[in-house]
Amino acid sequence: MDVALSGRTAAIADRAPFGAAQQAALAVACVVAGFLPLSAGYVAGGVARFAYGVLVTAVLGTLALLARQTASLRKYWEIPLAFFGLALFVLADRYVPRLVELNLLHDSPVPGNPYASTVAGTVVIQLVELLLTVAAVLLVLWLSGSSLSSIYVRRGRFGRAHVIGIVGLIVFYVLTFRVLSRTTFMPEHGVITLARYLSLTPPLLIMVATNGSLEELMFRGLLMSKLNLTFGPVLATFVQAIVFASWHVGVTYTSSALVFIVLFVLPLGLLGGYLTRSARSILPSSLLHAGLDMPIYLGFLSYVS
């Protein structure tokens, strides 16, 4: 009975209530709303950047409240609310980790590692970012009266998606060592020997699990579930994947950011959306995401170990 009811509820949520032209316009608006919080990074001056971040967050929150109070838009008010949550996270993440670095850890980033100059500091800052993500998501859920299960935070249906996630994590753990111990594909501070790789495995697993969980929680969990209110499952998956990719603009993990985004980040967003919908859980996509992040975070850790 519960499974059937859940399936019917999901089907209703996944229906697209607008025409093609309206959906296209709304999709573009969602992509813009998703990138606005990140655009603060292009504002010159610390005070101006902070003010801009606060303004974007306030505007998105206000749009959500106005939509909630408008009869014709009330059904969709949780969409700008989700973007408000993302903007709140970006605003907090731009300043809170830095405060923790300077005042609690007395640690700071170094060339090659944007988190800290030690392994422990790197792990702590990543955990701080996870806490900021959880806080922003819980605030959105509290304001909307939604449950964790409504954003796919549940065990879900064990099946092919879970197997893909588990196997992907294991395979990328093995491949990361085999590839990076034999190539200069990514810059490393010293040779990645087996002994060194094993010693870095605990912090590496914490880092990738944390980053995979926080990004899947925000994009495949919170954002995609709210986009279901307006878009069908296919378009909602594509929109969240594009927003996810836009959040990596300016990141220079490879020699070409465009190649990185188009060939890696966007497909990961699409695949994560598929796995989440298939399992009705963000767990499989979080596991796969963690595996794919291993070369990146091993590169970071290699500079401070």
- Do 90 and 40 touch, CB atoms closer than 8 A? yes
- Do 227 and 30 touch, CB atoms closer than 8 A? yes
Q: How far apart (Å, rounded) are the C-alpha atoms in residues 113 and 276?
A: 30
Tokens of 232: 């069908």
The pLDDT score that the predictor gives to residue 20 is 74
- Do 186 and 252 touch, CB atoms closer than 8 A? no
The pLDDT score that the predictor gives to residue 6 is 46
Q: What is the pTM of this model?
A: 0.87
- Do 22 and 232 touch, CB atoms closer than 8 A? no
- DSSP code string of 95-120: HHHHHHIIIII----BTTBSS-SSHH
- 36-40, 214-218, 301-305: which is most confident: 214-218
Radius of gyration from C-alpha coordinates of the chain = 20
Place of tokens 């229906």: 15
Residues 112-153 have pLDDT tens digits of 898 999 999 999 999 999 999 999 999 999 999 999 999 999
Residues 248-280 have pLDDT tens digits of 876 444 445 666 677 788 999 999 999 999 999
Q: How far apart (Å, rounded) are the C-alpha atoms in residues 191 and 180?
A: 9
Q: How far apart (Å, rounded) are the C-alpha atoms in residues 145 and 184?
A: 49
Q: How far apart (Å, rounded) are the C-alpha atoms in residues 104 and 96?
A: 11
The pLDDT score that the predictor gives to residue 265 is 87
Q: Which residue type occupies 191?
A: V
Any idea where the domains of the chain sit in the sequence?
Answer: 22-302
DSSP 113: B
The pLDDT score that the predictor gives to residue 254 is 46
If residue 128 lies in a helix (H) or strand (E), which one and from where to where?
helix 119-144
